[in-house]
Structure 1
Amino acid sequence: MTQKTDTWKLSASEIVEATHSGALKAIDVTEAALARMEAVNPDLNAVVDSCADTARAEAEALDASSGPKGPLHGVPVTIKINVDQKDYATSNGVVAFKDIIAPDDSPIVRSLRAAGAVIIGRTNTPEFSFRADTDNPLFGRTHNPWGQHISAGGSSGGAGSAVMAGIGALAHGNDIGGSLRFPASANGAVTVKPGLGRVPAFAPSQKKERGLLAQSMSVQGIIARSASDLHLSMPTVIAPDARDPYHVPLPWRGAPIEGQIKVAVTRDDFGFGLDPDVATAIDKAASALSDAGYAITEVQPPLAKETGDIGYRTLLGEVKALIGPDIKEHGSDTINEIFDEYFRQFPVFEGDALLTQLAERTRYARAWSEFLEDYPLVLTPFMLKPFFAPGRDTEGAEGVRDVLGQAHWSFVMSYTGLPAGNIPTHIAQTKEGPKPIGVQIAGRRWREDLIVDAMQAIEQRIPPTAPTLWDRM
């Protein structure tokens, strides 16, 4: 077992092995994570609400129990501030919402607790959780542990920064257009965006129901430092919860696929140009998968550009109608200027046109489902060039194009409701400093396990980035 001072470096899988065997107590792991948070968080501003006192009480209760509570016994985790955690504020990065105190836990918080995880803090998000960069007037900017030359991503930027800096072995996040995958790519972490209906969701503090697309596109998930930790943690958060009537109660593992698994590889850059470092990351991922026995084929998936373009405009139409008034009233000048630019670049569907596109969404999802019958996995770029600098989306039309346009592949998977993972396979040595490059692996509906298997095969050949990062910190 590693020295106590290095306990914060342990993976969730290593922690579980140690707490189940008795080699470590939950309070030991918790204290190590809290000490790490105290040491590095002042420079990062990743955790904006400490749960230190309750974390210690939870850990001591675990140690007093007759045996391991569950598959995440003693694992320190963080929760994003846009999700309900009983007795804590669900501020969503908005000053006007800072006193919205959750009356109960959301499903994912309840599931993590039931599995024996210890919540050590709550992580930052941009205003309304609707940017790919994490900054807000309530808590300020979250920084990337690789350096301030690179954004921490968003909207789960606090989660990505925290877990890669060693503040907890796992971080909760969520994703409607890329909010798990942006931070994973920016910080060098690993994640899988679950597909439609996979993880139950509900906000006990909510005053009204969310829009149709928000219900069917927004998903809860986990950011980790390794694919193995996703295989450990994701089965715990797909547990049924009656408060989500659309949850799909399927097991984590699906039926094995006979023969070689075919992976479609695409390098489509939608006219933006594919940066050489991103091309290298794709090449490394494809080579690792081929070496692991996957069948790699260069194939162009169906309707990719159209799916992303229409998806942006349709979701923004719903956002403008249902959330727009709150953003106007409670949002900062910065977030309103960003949304004005969103609406200029992606003219929204409204009225009957919006209803028509909501119906047409099924056509895109069907085309992708049929394609995935032949190719169960699809390897794509995530960002088309190395990750952007902090505040890039505040720099007018060009900045928004750099942030959203370069991540077109992210939104294709969001709009169709397909699961999609992100894993780093290359570190770009740019003039500003090192930048991890994540690639995206999408897959069949409800087959997150296939995606995580593929990412695990990659990281057996391309080591995770955390040790490289920690040597720099």
Structure 2
Amino acid sequence: MDPTFLSAVQLAALVRGGKIGALELLDHFIGRAERLDSRINAIVVRDFDRARQRARALDNQADKSAPLFGVPATVKESFDVAGLPTTRGHAALKDATVRVSTLPVRRLEAAGAVIFGKTNVPVDLADWQSYNPVYGVTSNPWSTAHTPGGSSGGSAAALAAGLTGFEMGTDIGGSIRVPAHFCGVFGHKPSWGLLPNYGDPATSSAAGTDIACLGPMSRSAADLQAGLEILAGPDPDETALTLNLPAPRATALKGLRAAVWADQAGIAADPETTAAMLALADALEREGAIVSRSARPALDPLDAYHLYLKLLDAAWSGRLTEETLASRRRDLARLKDSDQSADAVMLRMTDVPHRLWLGLNEQRFRLRRAWTAFFREWDVLLCPAFATAALPHRQDGNTWERRITVGGREIAYNDLLFWPGLTGGYHLPATVAPIAATQAGLPLGVQIAGPIHGDRTTIGAAALIEQALGGFKPPPGW
């Protein structure tokens, strides 16, 4: 059996059953990376020798019961792995190795995974393109003229190309969901705070970041569920609490209560994306699901979107240098009151007092309650992960300086934050699953959102859609 495009759960079963050794399986994926990765440049940090040592040790281990036993895995470059650099795209950090692996990396390894490399990202994880001056440009295996997305772009590209068995990314503005959508794989952005991300004290924030999450990426919904069970749980240094997440609300498409939000007035959308969402609604109805194309939470979508943008800008403001802040102040002084682009909304958050942020956070939690009320009536919300399929490569200046045409409308590049922010800004879990392809052959995914801590429900719905529509399909030529 060719293991290339099997799920991580299937790969672990092969190793546990003695049908393939951990080292043999690892060498299979390393061989593919050595032969094929030059086409897309996804696995940019390679740790093959240490991975082989670990795989040999697993082959000699009597207990093979770990859920990801022997599965070759890679992780996003921003995760700390002891002995490797964590650059986030900054050349000055290329030779600075970290001492302590981040908690989720340690949890993956405790679950039996063999981490053999790290995958590419944009600078500071702040783009839907994955390129940086340290490791260069990563391309989408479905079309090397297109980006795999960002910031977990290398993660999604490596999965789609069959270069790794399991991946782990992070998400604050769609950084798991958008690459999964662009590359035709699965990704899960969990309920905020569910999966801790503390690493080397010298390089990692102990406090974490508002909205930001880490989560599994894979070629199947079953792998997302396995990853959730492995990675979720409080930081062991902080609390003795344990998790008891609710079971999935639905075990079949028949009876699943699904609200479909295919498009939004005032928000640019590619017609093929909208059509794919409506076709999914039709398909679910044929399977017996209870579908509404008009049900919405009791909130104003554009107000909720702008609130997300303000909170997003505040969340990552801690990483800004004094030079960047000075530049933002100059730009703010020139900003027109009529400018309501995403970049303008975020720019107005420069130097906001903490009291103002507290008021915004109160607004956010009131809207969280509106989402909670909505999910008493509906099991899941199905909406686009992004307004369009994979974007062509863009490396022209800063993201806030770019313009892009979507559905015949020219918009600011960062106005594409609407669909990631609509759910992510309110700490909801959201799973992306592949559902269709464009006429040009690029993948399209659906974003499946659910109630806070309803992670098993969104992943479970992804599994049901996977069964109905066929799930992951390898890109041609890989």
Instruction: Return the TM-score normalized by structure 2.
Output: 0.87
- Coordinate RMSD, CA, aligned: 2.6
Indicate whether 1:215 and 2:236 are aligned: no
**What do residues 256-283 of structure 1 show as CA deviations (whole Å, max 9, x unaligned)?**
5699331111123241343221123212
Query: CA 1:406–1:216 in structure 2 vs 1: closer, same or farther (change >3 Å)?
Result: closer
The structure 1 residue matched to 2:393, chosen from 383, 390, 395, is: 390
- Per the TM alignment, residue 402 of structure 1 is displaced from its structure 2 partner at its CA by 5.5
- Per the TM alignment, residue 420 of structure 1 is displaced from its structure 2 partner at its CA by 0.4
Query: CA 1:270–1:309 in structure 2 vs 1: closer, same or farther (change >3 Å)?
Result: farther
**1:93 matched residue in structure 2:** 89
Give, in whole Å, the separation in 1 of the partners of 2:164 and 2:380: 30
- Whether the aligned pair in 2 keeps the contact of 1:78 and 1:172 (CA below 8 Å) is yes
Give, in whole Å, the separation in 2 of the partners of 1:397 and 1:15: 42
Q: SS of the residue aligned with 1:7?
A: coil
Q: SS of the residue aligned with 2:347?
A: coil
Query: CA 1:366–1:49 in structure 2 vs 1: closer, same or farther (change >3 Å)?
Result: same
Q: One-letter code of the match for 2:228?
A: M
Query: CA 1:279–1:122 in structure 2 vs 1: closer, same or farther (change >3 Å)?
Result: same
- Whether the aligned pair in 2 keeps the contact of 1:388 and 1:403 (CA below 8 Å) is no
Please list every run of 5 or more consecutive structure 2 residues that lacks an aligned counterpart in the other structure. Answer: 326-340, 405-409
Give, in whole Å, the separation in 1 of the partners of 2:95 and 2:324: 19
Query: CA 1:248–1:446 in structure 2 vs 1: closer, same or farther (change >3 Å)?
Result: farther
**1:277 matched residue in structure 2:** 272
Give, in whole Å, the separation in 2 of the partners of 1:68 and 1:36: 25
Give, in whole Å, the separation in 1 of the partners of 2:234 and 2:204: 22
Indicate whether 1:420 and 2:430 are aligned: yes
Query: CA 1:185–1:208 in structure 2 vs 1: closer, same or farther (change >3 Å)?
Result: closer
Structure 2 counterparts to residues 63-462 of structure 1, below 5 A: 63-206=59-202, 209=205, 215-243=209-237, 249-251=242-244, 254=247, 256=249, 260-298=255-293, 299-303=295-299, 304-320=301-317, 322-325=318-321, 328=324, 343-344=343-344, 346-349=346-349, 350-351=352-353, 352-391=355-394, 394=397, 396-399=401-404, 401=411, 403-430=413-440, 434-462=441-469
- Whether the aligned pair in 1 keeps the contact of 2:309 and 2:342 (CA below 8 Å) is no
Q: SS of the residue aligned with 2:304?
A: helix
Indicate whether 1:30 and 2:33 are aligned: no
Give, in whole Å, the separation in 1 of the partners of 2:220 and 2:386: 20
- Per the TM alignment, residue 292 of structure 1 is displaced from its structure 2 partner at its CA by 4.0
- Per the TM alignment, residue 147 of structure 1 is displaced from its structure 2 partner at its CA by 1.4
Q: SS of the residue aligned with 2:209?
A: helix
- Whether the aligned pair in 2 keeps the contact of 1:392 and 1:402 (CA below 8 Å) is no
Q: One-letter code of the match for 1:457?
A: L
Q: SS of the residue aligned with 1:346?
A: helix
**What do residues 369-393 of structure 1 show as CA deviations (whole Å, max 9, x unaligned)?**
1111111210111222333211177
Give, in whole Å, the separation in 1 of the partners of 2:49 and 2:61: 19
- Per the TM alignment, residue 123 of structure 1 is displaced from its structure 2 partner at its CA by 0.6
Indicate whether 1:7 and 2:17 are aligned: no
Aligned residues: 450
Give, in whole Å, the separation in 2 of the partners of 1:135 and 1:388: 14
- Whether the aligned pair in 1 keeps the contact of 2:16 and 2:65 (CA below 8 Å) is no
Query: CA 1:104–1:15 in structure 2 vs 1: closer, same or farther (change >3 Å)?
Result: same
- Per the TM alignment, residue 149 of structure 1 is displaced from its structure 2 partner at its CA by 2.6
Query: CA 1:190–1:326 in structure 2 vs 1: closer, same or farther (change >3 Å)?
Result: farther
Query: CA 1:439–1:398 in structure 2 vs 1: closer, same or farther (change >3 Å)?
Result: same
Give, in whole Å, the separation in 2 of the partners of 1:373 and 1:393: 45
Q: Which is helix-richer, 1 or 2?
A: 1
Q: Percent of aligned positions with the same letter in both sequences?
A: 28
Give, in whole Å, the separation in 1 of the partners of 2:212 and 2:359: 21
Give, in whole Å, the separation in 1 of the partners of 2:286 and 2:246: 23
Q: SS of the residue aligned with 2:156?
A: helix
**What do residues 146-192 of structure 1 show as CA deviations (whole Å, max 9, x unaligned)?**
11232110000010111111111111101111110011011111111
Q: One-letter code of the match for 1:297?
A: S
**What do residues 117-157 of structure 1 show as CA deviations (whole Å, max 9, x unaligned)?**
11011011111111121111111111111112321100000
Query: CA 1:244–1:153 in structure 2 vs 1: closer, same or farther (change >3 Å)?
Result: farther
- Per the TM alignment, residue 342 of structure 1 is displaced from its structure 2 partner at its CA by 6.3
- Whether the aligned pair in 2 keeps the contact of 1:314 and 1:348 (CA below 8 Å) is no
Give, in whole Å, the separation in 2 of the partners of 1:297 and 1:390: 36
